[in-house]
Amino acid sequence: MSSTKSAVIKSVVLVFFAALIVLGMYILLTRNKEKEPKYDESYSLSSVDEITTTDLEKSYPANPKKVVELYAKTMQVLYRETYTADQQIKMINVLAGLMDAELLANQGNFTQSMKNEVEERKKEDYSISNYVLLSKDVQETTVDGRKMCHVDLMYSLRKGTSGTSILKYRYVMRQDDAGKWKIMGWDLAPNEDDN
C-alpha cells in the first residue's frame, strides 16, 4: 500500500512540475510576442512619400503623357500637402529630372525658383484640386533630328475654399539622347476654336 501511495505522490508531483513547465513556456512565448514590433500591413505611402521615393534613374515614365502626369502630380503635392524642407528638395529634384537639359540650363536656379513659386502659391492659398490629361493620341514629329510632341493637360486650380478656375496647358516634349521624354516648355493651350 505504501508503494502505491508513493507512486501516486510521485505522479502528482510530476504532473504538477509538468504543469509548471507548460505554464512557464506559455508565459515566455506570449511575453515575447507582445514585445515584437507590430507592423501595420495596411500602411500605404502618403502622396509626399510617393513622390520623394520616386527614382527616375530606375523607373522613368514610359511615355510623354506619363511624364506630364508625374509633373502635375508633383506640383499638386507641392501646393497642397505638408512636408519637410528635405522632402521639398526631393520633390523639386523629381521635377528637374523631368525637364529637358536645355530648359534647365536656361533657368537661373531651378530649385530656388520652384521654392519661391510654391511658397507664394501656398501663401495665396492656391491648390491644384485636380488635373486631367486632354491629349488622347500624342502626335510625334521630328525637329532637327529629335522626336518632339505636345501633351495638353487641364488643371483645376482652387483658391481657398471657394473659386475654382480651369487652366489648360500645352507641354512641349522632346526626347533626349537616351530616349526619355523630357519637358521642354509649356504655355496655355490654344482654344479648340483656334485650330
The residue length of the chain stands at 195
Mean pLDDT across 180-194:
84
Q: What is the mean pLDDT of the chain?
A: 85
The pLDDT of residue 3 is above 80: no
Band of residue 150 on the pLDDT scale cut at 50, 70, 90: very high
Q: Tens digits of per-residue pLDDT, 98-108?
A: 999 999 998 88
Question: Does residue 46 or residue 5 have the better pLDDT?
Answer: 46
β pairing state of 126-133 and 181-188: unpaired
Mean pLDDT across 16-36:
69
Nearest to 152 by CA among 77, 61, 65: 65
Q: What is the pTM of this model?
A: 0.74
Nearest to 169 by CA among 157, 183, 151: 151
Whole-number percent of the chain with pLDDT over 90: 56
In CATH, the architecture of 48-194 is Roll (3.10)
**First vs last Cα of the chain: how many Å apart?**
113
Angle (nearest 5°) at CA 147 between 141 and 152: 65
| Residues 157/159/162/163 CA torsion (nearest 10 deg) | -50
Q: How far apart are CA 31 and CA 41, in angstroms?
A: 22
Domain ranges of the chain: 48-194
Q: Tens digits of per-residue pLDDT, 38-85?
A: 555 555 678 999 999 999 999 999 999 999 999 999 999 999 899 999
pLDDT of residue 195: 47
